[in-house]
Chain A
């Protein structure tokens, strides 16, 4: 092979790799650009009052405290629904299931559940929880809907965490005479806990940022104070952004409030994801087995 030919091949490689690098920069630039832009425009609106007071003067002033609390209630509720179910399903998949038709059906169910659009979850929540179970538009209905939405995330992360616990741990425990359930409860679950925690945080982040599933099941434009029972409607950060940006009578006037709310939501969601990613990275590095 001639030297010229080799140089050409390397030139082609450098061009291609340069293109890939450029694409990566463009993708990161888009993310960075959005974050910086929102930060610059939103940081001025952030104040103690903004974070701790309800909206005033028909939403044109004041804060977003009820929306922050509403999002908190909804995500905690969603986690209460999804965590026990998700971890149990993961235990089935990793500890009990054997290859075969039943397992294939379960996996297909989880995969397709993960692919259902969030607005369809909203319709389902409206029909089942709001209508059929007569919960009304409420925290309960919204939490149940969001809980089902994040269920595949929790199952996926928990199963991965359980599978990473080495088989020798189980064998040692079973060999000492422990039953399967004792082994799971006292050996496998504690070892998998950090991974399950990561999955839960990712699930919370997802639930906090979703709008479409709570539009018809939980969220409302404005509440006087904080909700008093799980059957009350709530304000929520994502829905608050949507409403202020599209439906208010003073859309231009409330722009700073909109940017401020976006900044709070982004900080919350990306902060949670960042924590989850850091825990996961650290775990992978320090894991002894």
Chain B
């Protein structure tokens, strides 16, 4: 702001005095214009919030219609999902249990593997190896889910059936394995970033005191990175919970509460994807599928809020909190 009168003063010696008038005028309009432009960008910033609002609005608008005929309790805890029978049953408890089963088992596989890969990248690998392998892991993250669903269905399922002599290879175990492959890169990449962000002087202090690299890792680096690693794990689990194509193609599709890892299940996203195509617009079944969408939305929202909380609550603040 200070420069403008000065510039006028300099040009003023060479340009006729009347030039000053348009210059001031332009300055005023440009301030108005700047304010307008600023408002455009603020609006763009808030667009994501508006979209979140619209998603909530439309999910509830289409989904809540179901609860005029089915109680929330019967919907959430009903044990039978027969949406096309007459009278229809809209109990999603088996679907929730199906989702929980694949999310839990895939996390049990993906968390140790993802964290292990992150520890290798962050602590063991040389700088050059890391430069090559980190992008490779990120590449694994961009593998389309329909491809993993296809591999699980066409390659893994027949093998499982052969090896263990089970009725179907499309089951909780197979789906969990494919979901784990999807979740590992998320967990590994975020955890590695967290390890990388731990201040170097903390590690150097530990090494200088005679601790081995492993001892430094377990007692200094990991505690310092725990909030970021926790965030990565939760986001990976959330991704496994909401992923559609893998469970649609590989989980088997039977709406039952699983009792073994070789049972077929019908997780929440698979139900929506499989049935929405054949459902008449505005029917009770249509509303029920949107109601499942609400449940799924709230579940993943919960995961994300917990992740945000973990990343704030256990944040490493300088060296003092260790």
A residues with a Cβ closer than 8 A to B are: 1, 9-10, 12-13, 16-17, 19-21, 23-24, 26-28, 30-31, 34, 37-38, 85, 88-89, 91-93, 95-97, 105-106, 108-113, 115-124, 126-128, 131-132, 148, 151-152, 155, 175-177, 179-181, 202, 205-206, 208-212, 215-216, 238-239, 241-242, 245-246, 255, 258, 262, 265-266, 269-270, 273-274, 277, 281
Contacts and interface: CB of A to CB of B under 8 A. Distances in A.
A175 B34 contact: no
B4 A266 contact: no
A176 B4 CA distance: 9
A242 B146 contact: yes
Contacts of A258: 150, 154
Given A212-B273, A246-B249, 15 more contacts: A13-B214, A17-B120, A19-B116, A20-B119, A34-B148, A89-B44, A118-B244, A120-B296, A122-B276, A179-B34, A215-B273, A242-B150, A242-B248, A266-B147, A270-B139
Interface string B253-290: 00000000000000001001100110001000000011
Lowest 8 A-B CB distances belong to which pairs? A117-B242, A209-B144, A88-B44, A23-B116, A92-B45, A109-B49, A13-B214, A20-B120
Count class of interface residues, chain B = 35 or more
Interface stretch (B57-65, B78-86, B90-98, B198-206): B57-65
10 contacts: A12-B212, A19-B116, A20-B117, A24-B117, A31-B136, A34-B148, A105-B46, A106-B49, A111-B308, A212-B244
A215 B277 contact: yes
B2 to A, nearest CB: 9
A19 B123 CA distance: 12
Which residue, B45, B123, B145, B249, has most C-beta atoms of chain A within 10 A?
B45
Nearest to B243: A117
Contacts of B12: none
Given A31-B143, A117-B300, A148-B51, A262 B150 contact: yes
Contacts of A265: 144, 146-147
Contact of B135 (A30, A93, A152, A277): A277
B47 interface: yes
B148 to A, nearest CB: 8
A28 B138 CA distance: 11
A115 to B, nearest CB: 4
Nearest to A25: B120
A256 B165 CA distance: 27
Given A106-B46, A211-B245, A119 B146 contact: no
A211 B136 contact: no
Nearest to A127: B58
A13 B213 contact: yes
A246 B153 CA distance: 9
A123 B44 contact: no
A151 B71 CA distance: 36
A1 B249 CA distance: 58
Contacts of A93: 45
Contacts of A209: 142-147
A158 B132 CA distance: 24
Contact of B214 (A17, A97, A216): A17
Nearest to B62: A127
A119 B139 CA distance: 22
B54 interface: yes
B108 interface: no
Nearest to A242: B146
A96 B42 contact: yes
A8 to B, nearest CB: 10
Given A20-B123, A181-B33, A109 B58 contact: no
A17 B117 CA distance: 11
Contacts of B113: 23, 26-27
B300 A116 contact: yes
A270 B45 contact: no
A269 B143 contact: yes
B212 A115 contact: no
B133 interface: yes
A268 B83 CA distance: 38
A113 B244 contact: no
A13 B123 CA distance: 11
B154 A255 contact: yes
A89 B113 CA distance: 35
B296 A262 contact: no
B121 A24 contact: yes
Contacts of B210: 1
B18 interface: no
A32 to B, nearest CB: 9
Nearest to A18: B124
B30 to A, nearest CB: 6
Contacts of A118: 242-244
Interface string B1-12: 001100100000
A199 to B, nearest CB: 13
A241 B303 contact: no
Contacts of A245: 149-150, 153-154, 249
A131 B62 CA distance: 11
Nearest to A97: B45
B184 interface: yes
B143 A270 contact: yes
Interface string B148-172: 1111011100000000000000000
Contacts of A30: 140, 181
